Homo-oligomer: A and B are copies of this chain.
């Protein structure tokens, strides 16, 4: 368990009447968002999401928030408030509910529908409480008022949490599109009222704090889609996020306007859009949606395929289409639209897809050459509005890497929040609100919890280092049977290597020296297998380093017989 802040000691016990905030994820990374509020011995969890691994975390499926801090206090949790239905806010809920199944989930209708669909796959039937904007619920020690915010998924909520220690406003993820498709804007009126009443701690989305100005309007994408559809003579394939209901809505509308039918491709796309249209968040124009099987019966210029894989995920539909190994094929005259962002780290994968589609003859439209995507997170200009409307007493930037948190803190200070009232905290840092002042009082251990196959939390940095060595350098296993009587080598030594450029034969060069070394050290009285294994490791390690200029993992095994 890593302790990210050795300079910070463990926190003192929480003073009576004070509020404690600890983020177990999302502060120092984009993902696995989770905040724990404590008041009067009770806990409130805000969001519980996953983080997706980077290349230096090979073989890892998912990364979870570190639950250790609350593992012994599960019964103190009043509820988990879910601000919206994105994976980085709900994805870890099944893993937390495994620890205690009956923690109530509180969120909007769509958010709960998405998390329930996910929990079904984990065979968990949750306790839920659906809430709407403007609604106030007393969740044990925490009075929660829910506020509408606009984001890249419908039905997102901010939450104002009132306690005896003061009021916390947590934005969740949000932006301030003033003309959103569903007319549901971020409720600045409520922000103003809360500000008048007094917001003691403002926890605010930092993702785009480095980006100057304002996010363009989602509805601005409609006309762009329209013009791309207008000069597309054959098939159109659109890739986007499977939860981006409004983006899909605009694709459906463009298709209807141009006499095309739309087939949804990809399990999550099909599932989420079914939920969204059942609940009335997606309005499907009469007869526009068709089954993928029906596509081949239609002329190319009447087809739109709406699929996942906009980040170049190798198993997703779009990557397989680009590699020509999907039942949907792409060719000259077809148009592919990547109506999505390019998440940092995915560039190589996405450009591989774009090159593959281009090689097949398709025209590829993406955010790099057309306005087919807008961000879901408030830019600096929007954040300034929030600070000025709220005038919060204390600010704690959340949701972002260090560079984002620091940029967001600077914006708060520019609007007049005293610098010593702006709390820069990373995962595990303990922030107490005492007598209306927020400050860092310590830190708790907070590491990365890796999900890998059937294991949750089993993988440590040590195993990841092993994997990086295995992947970069390969491995050599050496096996020998020695006589317990006289230390003579009865069988072997055998060498097996993987991940090497050289032919296996090359490793036979070292066998005679290896046998000699084993029998010499046996003659010198080295009998226990551990010593002999060290001998084999040393001999082969030196040889492979000099001869092949590599440092593989070496596994020596000596068996006595």
- Contact bitstring A452-477, B, C-beta under 8 A = 1, else 0: 11110111000100111011111101
Q: Contact between B496 and A555 (Cβ–Cβ < 8 Å)?
A: yes
Query: Chain B interface: which of A215-223, A272-280, A354-362?
Result: A354-362
Tell me the minimal C-beta distance from A58 to chain B in angstroms.
Answer: 4
Q: CB of A323 within 8 A of chain B? A: no
Q: CB of A560 within 8 A of chain B? A: yes
Residue of A344, A468, A479 contacting most chain B CB atoms (<10 Å)? A479
When distances are taken between beta carbons in the complex, the residues of chain B under 8 Å from A121 are none
Q: CB of A364 within 8 A of chain B? A: yes
Query: Chain B interface: which of A63-71, A184-192, A545-553?
Result: A545-553
- Rounded to whole angstroms, the CA-CA distance of A82 and B400 in the bound complex is 45
Q: Contact between B344 and A472 (Cβ–Cβ < 8 Å)?
A: no
Q: Contact between B344 and A351 (Cβ–Cβ < 8 Å)?
A: yes
Q: Contact between B403 and A491 (Cβ–Cβ < 8 Å)?
A: no
Q: Contact between B59 and A455 (Cβ–Cβ < 8 Å)?
A: no
When distances are taken between beta carbons in the complex, the residues of chain B under 8 Å from A287 are none
Tell me the minimal C-beta distance from A21 to chain B in angstroms.
Answer: 20
Q: Contact between B355 and A344 (Cβ–Cβ < 8 Å)?
A: no
Q: Contact between B548 and A453 (Cβ–Cβ < 8 Å)?
A: yes
Q: Contact between A481 and B470 (Cβ–Cβ < 8 Å)?
A: no
> Which chain B residue lies CB-closest to A61?
B549
Given A348-B54, A472-B58, CB of A498 within 8 Å of CB of B548? no
- Rounded to whole angstroms, the CA-CA distance of A339 and B345 in the bound complex is 20
- Rounded to whole angstroms, the CA-CA distance of A474 and B467 in the bound complex is 6
Q: CB of A499 within 8 A of chain B? A: yes
When distances are taken between beta carbons in the complex, the residues of chain B under 8 Å from A499 are 59, 463, 466-467, 470
- Rounded to whole angstroms, the CA-CA distance of A140 and B406 in the bound complex is 62
Q: CB of A227 within 8 A of chain B? A: no
Q: CB of A286 within 8 A of chain B? A: no
- Rounded to whole angstroms, the CA-CA distance of A460 and B351 in the bound complex is 23
Tell me the minimal C-beta distance from A506 to chain B in angstroms.
Answer: 10
Given A355-B402, A463-B501, CB of A473 within 8 Å of CB of B59? yes
> Which chain B residue lies CB-closest to A359?
B402
- Rounded to whole angstroms, the CA-CA distance of A452 and B548 in the bound complex is 9
- Rounded to whole angstroms, the CA-CA distance of A454 and B543 in the bound complex is 13
When distances are taken between beta carbons in the complex, the residues of chain B under 8 Å from A496 are 477, 555, 557
When distances are taken between beta carbons in the complex, the residues of chain B under 8 Å from A13 are none
When distances are taken between beta carbons in the complex, the residues of chain B under 8 Å from A463 are 474, 499-501
Instruction: Specify which of B210, B468, B560 is in contact with A368 (CB 8 Å cutoff).
Output: B210
Q: Contact between B479 and A470 (Cβ–Cβ < 8 Å)?
A: no
Residue of A351, A459, A463, A501 contacting most chain B CB atoms (<10 Å)? A501
Q: Contact between B498 and A470 (Cβ–Cβ < 8 Å)?
A: yes
Give the residues from 338 to 354 in chain A that come closer than 8 angstroms, CB to CB, to chain B: 344-345, 347-348, 351, 354
Given A347-B345, A481-B481, CB of A475 within 8 Å of CB of B454? no
> Which chain B residue lies CB-closest to A400?
B355
> Which chain B residue lies CB-closest to A470?
B470
Q: CB of A502 within 8 A of chain B? A: yes
Q: CB of A72 within 8 A of chain B? A: no
Q: Contact between B549 and A453 (Cβ–Cβ < 8 Å)?
A: yes
Q: Contact between A557 and B491 (Cβ–Cβ < 8 Å)?
A: no
> Which chain B residue lies CB-closest to A549?
B453
Instruction: Specify which of B355, B492, B555 is in contact with A559 (CB 8 Å cutoff).
Output: B492
- Rounded to whole angstroms, the CA-CA distance of A459 and B499 in the bound complex is 8
Q: Contact between B347 and A344 (Cβ–Cβ < 8 Å)?
A: yes
When distances are taken between beta carbons in the complex, the residues of chain B under 8 Å from A477 are 477, 496, 555, 557
When distances are taken between beta carbons in the complex, the residues of chain B under 8 Å from A550 are 452-454
Q: List 24 A-B contacts (CB under 8 A).
A: A55-B348, A59-B471, A59-B474, A59-B499, A354-B403, A355-B403, A358-B402, A358-B406, A453-B501, A453-B548, A454-B550, A455-B502, A455-B548, A457-B501, A458-B500, A458-B501, A458-B502, A463-B474, A463-B501, A468-B471, A481-B481, A494-B559, A496-B557, A561-B561
Q: Which residues of A contact B (CB under 8 A)?
A: 28, 54-56, 58-59, 210, 344-345, 347-348, 351, 354-355, 358-359, 364, 368-369, 401-403, 406, 450, 452-455, 457-459, 463, 466-468, 470-475, 477, 479, 481, 490-492, 494, 496, 498-502, 547-550, 553, 555, 557, 559-561
16 more contacts with CB within 8 A, not counting A59-B499, A453-B549, A455-B500, are A28-B355, A59-B472, A59-B473, A210-B368, A355-B402, A358-B403, A453-B548, A454-B547, A454-B549, A455-B501, A458-B500, A458-B501, A466-B474, A467-B472, A470-B471, A470-B498
